[in-house]
Amino acid sequence: SQCRNISSVDSPKAVVEACDITYCMLSTLEASIAVFDDETNGVVAGVTEGKTIVDCATLTPERMKSVEARILARGGKFLEAPVSGSKVPAEKGLLIFLCGGEQEVFDKSKEALDAMGKASFLFGTVGKGSQVKLVVNMIMGTMLCAFSEGLGLCDAADLPCDKLLEVLDLGVMSNAMFNLKGPNMINDKYGAHFP
């Protein structure tokens, strides 16, 4: 593995000033506002000509467009890149980046995105990546709801839930989410993996 020098600075603005491309992945809108919008020390305050910001947070398309407009006004470039995947995929470098922005900025950022994840896609202008992320979350939530209802019914009927997991895994409904979440659910382990 390649080791690089790491330095510490006192503010988000100083990070942007020290880097050509800055990657951010914040957990909530409130965190994004605190880190990006501070007029003295925020990310946007550090943007000058030639700086690129890649925002990997899951936020609204409107928030991403607003941040992009302020970064472009300062001469910088912007790419939204929310991810599909949570703690375990992040630790294993298996995130999927769902991007919105200019092709040139996507291409410039792709090497680092590839190092952090297993795939990255450009869906169009800023806002489109967040829209796709919301669609992905809607599908995942619907699947998890049906899975939960099935496990609940299985348990209520006094059937072995572990065997149900085996049955599902052997058929067309086999998927990584059921394999990951199922054992935790039948053992009443519900640790948070994203807000």
Contact yes or no for 110/120 (Cβ under 8 A): yes
Query: Quick count: other Cβ atoms within 10 Å of Cβ 133?
Result: 24
39 pairs with which residues across the strands? Answer: none
Alpha-carbon distances, residue 4 vs 1, 7, 54 (angstroms):
10, 10, 20
Catalytic residue among 128, 133, 181, 189: 133
Tell me the two tokens of residue 191. 């640790």
Tell me the two tokens of residue 153. 């019914």
Token pair 């943007």: residue = 47
119 pairs with which residues across the strands? Answer: 96
- Residue 133 annotated to the active site: yes
Of the candidates 38, 51, 43, the one whose C-alpha atom is nearest the C-alpha of residue 78 is: 51
Alpha-carbon distances, residue 137 vs 5, 57, 58, 133, 170 (angstroms):
37, 14, 10, 6, 25
Active site residues: 133
